[in-house]
Structure 1
Amino acid sequence: MKAILTVIGKDKVGIIAHVSQELMAENINILDVSQTIMGTNFTMMMMIDLAGVSSSFSEVQEKLNGLGEKLAVKISVQREEIFNTMHKL
Structure 2
Amino acid sequence: MHILDWHHTNPRLGAAFLIVNSITGPALGLPLNPKAAKQAEKILGSSLAKIETIWLEGNAKFLLGNSQPSIADLSLGCEIMQLDIMREY
Larger Rg: 2
Bigger strand fraction:
1
Higher relative contact order (Cα pairs below 8 Å, separated by 6+ residues): 1
TM-score higher than 0.5 = no
TM-score (norm 2): 0.31
TM-score (norm 1): 0.31
